[in-house]
Chain A
């Protein structure tokens, strides 16, 4: 379970705060993903990076800002969030994006917006 790590594991923030989520993968993968997981809803793909280049921005509000400085690290910068943004945020990686490889997930960051 150490292939993909995420920090922090839990985060409570006010609507005016600015915080960042960090994801790191130690698998040598070239693709990284951010998902939002809310109760009783399917995983919602937010962003996809392939070789550090953003491939997908799934109509995510601008209060979520991703950053991928290299293929091993992925950040999600948060600012002026809303209570409905409270969820589990999952990071995942895969060797490539267009093939059938398995995605490897991190443990997630449980975010609560007050």
Chain B
């Protein structure tokens, strides 16, 4: 069965600094998608960035980028120039191609220090 592991329950970063959140997953599939979602306190979960497994190039969205290591089954999220508004729970998620089930990790709470 597929699993997603986020080994860092909580992380802190100084404003304007860079932080990396870790995510590993286990699957026997070769075609799948990976996502990072952000859930601010008392607000809706929104997509931060996503990666197709067949793409070798790492996805980037402004200050957010991923380090996708397919062989290692690792999918980390790097946040550059951290802002106070980045404080939230971050969830890593996996979805195999041709299925409808998203597998989520337990989340990492990110604190941004002023």
Nearest 7 pairs between A and B by C-beta?
A97-B100, A105-B45, A43-B104, A100-B33, A42-B104, A102-B47, A107-B44
B67, chain A: closest CB distance, angstroms? 20
Looking across the interface, which residue of chain B has its beta carbon closest to that of A42?
A: B104
Seen from chain B, the residues whose Cβ lies within 8 Å of a Cβ on chain A are 4, 9, 33, 35, 37, 42-47, 50, 52, 91, 95, 97-106
Contact A40 B106 (CB under 8 A): yes
Contact A103 B100 (CB under 8 A): no
Contact count band on A: 20 to 34
A108, chain B: closest CB distance, angstroms? 8
- Contact status of A42 and B106, CB under 8 A, knowing A98-B98, A100-B33, A100-B97: yes
Most buried by B among A4, A31, A56, A102: A102
A25: Cβ under 8 A from any B Cβ: no
Contact A48 B50 (CB under 8 A): no
Contact A98 B99 (CB under 8 A): yes
A47-85 contacts to B, CB under 8 A, are 48, 50, 55-56
Some 27 contacts from A to B, beta carbons below 8 A apart, are A1-B43, A1-B44, A40-B9, A42-B103, A42-B104, A42-B105, A42-B106, A48-B100, A48-B101, A55-B100, A56-B100, A90-B45, A97-B100, A98-B98, A98-B100, A100-B33, A100-B50, A100-B52, A100-B95, A102-B47, A102-B50, A103-B47, A103-B102, A105-B44, A105-B46, A107-B43, A107-B44
